Amino acid sequence: MSSFWGTLHNIIDSAIGAERTVYAGVMRLAYLKSLAGKYSLAAELYNRVAELEPNAVEPLLYLQYQYILLGDWQGLEQSSNKALKNDLNNYLSMTRLAYSYYQRGQYGRAREAYLKVQQLYPLDLDAMVMVGWSNALSNHKSEAKRNFRKVLMLAPQNKSAKEGLAFATR
């Protein structure tokens, strides 16, 4: 960490004290920990902030990102579900919940979660591609081919859709 960030970190750390009860201070400290590559510590701090403001979605979104960086798919699922209780249609939480299922090989659940995203954002190409991959990897290849062809009609150069179509055609 550069001397500027290190100094800033020390100032914030001493200002919020051992109890870590100042929302903005703990958020900033968690952010600095993440910048320094200390994702587990940042996740702990974002969890603490989420406890300080139980209805806030903001710390949960940052927490989700830490879980992605850590490859903690169960933590990602839990924090996404918690955020969705506070903000039912939060796009990031919806897509990250779907991604947590996908990363654990729960392709049926991933497909359903990505389809919910598509209900709100019908032309979301990432969700469309992931529905296709979820279908392909759960052995619903004819459905996957339809998904990938739809993406390619909208974005003919989409690499993942091209690869998915080739995979589903085998």
Confidence of residue 22 (pLDDT cuts 50, 70, 90): confident
Give the model's pLDDT for residue 25.
Answer: 86
> Are the CB atoms for 67 and 43 separated by under 8 Å?
yes
d(CA 151, CA 9): 45
State pTM to two decimals: 0.87
Query: If you search the block for the tokens 């529905």, which residue do you land on?
Result: 131
Phi, psi for 87 (deg, rounded to 5)? -145, 90
Asked whether the predicted pLDDT for residue 147 surpasses 90, the reply is yes
Question: CATH: 1.25.40.10, 3.40.50.720, 2.40.30.160, 1.20.1330.10. Which one for 107-170?
Answer: 1.25.40.10
% residues pLDDT > 90 (the chain): 84
Within 10 A of 47 (CB to CB), how many other CB atoms are there? Answer: 16
Cα angle 55-114-92, degrees, rounded to a multiple of 5: 35
d(CA 58, CA 143): 36
**Structure tokens of 145?**
């081919």
Query: If you search the block for the tokens 């052995």, which residue do you land on?
Result: 139
Give the 3-state secondary structure percentages of the chain, helix then strand then coil, rounded to 5. Answer: 80, 0, 20
Name the average pLDDT for the chain. Answer: 92
d(CA 27, CA 94): 22
Could you state, in order of their start, the residue ranges of all structural domains in the chain? 1-104, 107-170
The class (CATH top level) of 1-104 is mainly alpha
Domains 1-104 and 107-170 share a fold: yes
> Are the CB atoms for 91 and 120 separated by under 8 Å?
yes
Per-residue pLDDT, averaged over 87-103, amounts to 98
Asked whether the predicted pLDDT for residue 1 surpasses 60, the reply is no
> Are the CB atoms for 164 and 136 separated by under 8 Å?
yes
Per-residue pLDDT, averaged over 127-141, amounts to 97
Q: Which long-range contacts (CB under 8 A, 24 or more apart) does 29-35 make?
A: 30/59, 30/62, 31/62, 32/1, 32/5, 32/8, 34/62, 34/65, 34/66, 34/69, 35/1, 35/5
Give the model's pLDDT for residue 99.
Answer: 98
Asked whether the predicted pLDDT for residue 48 surpasses 80, the reply is yes
